[in-house]
Amino acid sequence: MTSIAMIEAAALRLAGRARRTPLLSSPFLDAIAGRRVWVKAECLQHTGSFKFRGAWSAVSALPAKARARGVIAFSSGNHAQGVALAAQMHAIPAVIIMPADAPALKIDNTRALGAEVILYDRAHEDRDAIGAHLSEDRGLTLIRPYDDPQVIAGQGTMGLEIAEQAAAEGITHADVLVCCGGGGLTSGTALALEARAPGLRARSAEPAGFDDAARSLAAGAIRRNASLSGSICDAIVTPEPGQITFPILHRLCGPGLVVTDDEALQAMALAFLRLKLVLEPGGAVALAAALFRRDEIAGNDVIAVASGGNVGAAVFVQALARFG
């Protein structure tokens, strides 16, 4: 299980590798939210999302011999790029298994970061079988996207930074809203805050219709999403909270927050206008919750994690056209 000692050890391994991302604010956002809004700009992390933290943490924690054989991941998105870059920086092989219908840009980006991309046919092939075969054949270690103690520890390093940055701003009590998929970033952040900023409380933010974390927290047990497609916030849609992450969320997090796709797009337009940040829809749901769920949040300050910015021009233009 991930402990604060593991998170702090991950922070040492990440020092000089991951960026320490800034905590930004704007009086215009404060006016909308009715309180001070602080945005942890994790979209500025290497590869455009927080995922590099967990990937680097997990890869760097492997025994040297296993690491040298290489790593493998299943992902068409931010986790793929995080693992690819972490492997490239370690000069080890990375195999990323992606659906053949993934956007060309994501495939190209992952390849450009030095990974071997293996495409599979979603309809007719079993990606787990492909992965198992490759792993055995080449001795690759699987890097899971969230349900892995060292991945959670890596994401938790963002929580350490928030604890320090909040203290520097004099913020002792606040909700910390985290864009939540499988719960790796939310649980890691919650553990870091528990130890280093006990007045700060992590809370999950999710898109409506894909609010497995909020419903699981309310029920006290894991609940699945009815569907896995149809949200513009695709980067943070997962079947259900992880077996390792959920007990942490359940013990430490406040009630989950839920926003609509339109609210996520509006938060993107406001981040463009007021913060000069590019956010992807799934990376904007925490900011959307901070801005548009004021009655569900207490206190004079709220911290929203802007977890990623890997959005194509078409979706970004849509956000600006509707809300810019």
Residue of 93, 128, 98, 115 whose CA lies nearest to 47: 115
Which member of 5, 112, 129, 219 binds a second copy (CB under 8 A)? 112
To a second copy, the closest distance from the beta carbon of 135 in angstroms equals 27
For position 120 contacting a second copy by CB under 8 A, the verdict is no
Which member of 258, 277, 287, 290 binds a second copy (CB under 8 A)? 277
For position 272 contacting a second copy by CB under 8 A, the verdict is yes
Which residue stretch of 95-103, 190-198, 239-247, 266-274 sits at the interface with a second copy (rule: CB under 8 A)?
Answer: 266-274
For position 55 contacting a second copy by CB under 8 A, the verdict is no
Q: Please, which residue, 249 or 271, has the CB nearer to a second copy?
A: 271
To a second copy, the closest distance from the beta carbon of 43 in angstroms equals 4
For position 264 contacting a second copy by CB under 8 A, the verdict is no
Which residue stretch of 39-47, 120-128, 180-188, 228-236 sits at the interface with a second copy (rule: CB under 8 A)?
Answer: 39-47
For position 15 contacting a second copy by CB under 8 A, the verdict is no
For position 43 contacting a second copy by CB under 8 A, the verdict is yes
Residue 108's CB is within 10 A of a number of other CB atoms, namely 11
**Total site size for a second copy, rule CB under 8 A:** 30
Judge contact between 133 and 97, C-beta under 8 A.
Answer: no
For position 33 contacting a second copy by CB under 8 A, the verdict is no
Q: Please, which residue, 139 or 312, has the CB nearer to a second copy?
A: 312
To a second copy, the closest distance from the beta carbon of 41 in angstroms equals 8
Contact partners, residue 129, CB within 8 Å, separation at least 6: none
Residue of 288, 281, 184, 305 whose CA lies nearest to 233: 281
Residue of 279, 304, 286 whose CA lies nearest to 171: 304
Tell me which residue has tokens 């206008």.
Answer: 273
End-to-end CA distance of the chain: 44
Which residue stretch of 54-62, 156-164, 218-226, 307-315 sits at the interface with a second copy (rule: CB under 8 A)?
Answer: 307-315
Which member of 101, 111, 276, 298 binds a second copy (CB under 8 A)? 276
Instruction: Give CA–CA dist 314/316, Å, rounded.
Output: 5
Tell me which residue has tokens 């497609």.
Answer: 229
How many whole angstroms from its chain centre is CA 262? 20
Amino acid at 38: W
Provide the sign of the torsion angle of the four alpha carbons 33, 191, 258, 42, taken in this order: positive
Which member of 59, 92, 152, 269 binds a second copy (CB under 8 A)? 269
For position 22 contacting a second copy by CB under 8 A, the verdict is yes
Instruction: Give CA–CA dist 24/270, Å, rounded.
Output: 13
Q: What is the dihedral of CA 178, 155, 243, 264, to 10 degrees?
A: 30
- Phi/psi at 113 (nearest 5 deg)? -85, 15
Which residue stretch of 43-51, 68-76, 152-160, 184-192 sits at the interface with a second copy (rule: CB under 8 A)?
Answer: 43-51
Q: Angle 51-61/78-90 helices, nearest 10 degrees?
A: 40
Which residue ranges make up the site for a second copy (CB under 8 A)?
Answer: 19, 21-22, 24, 27-28, 31, 41, 43-44, 48, 109, 112-113, 269, 272-273, 275-279, 309, 312-313, 316-317, 320-321, 324
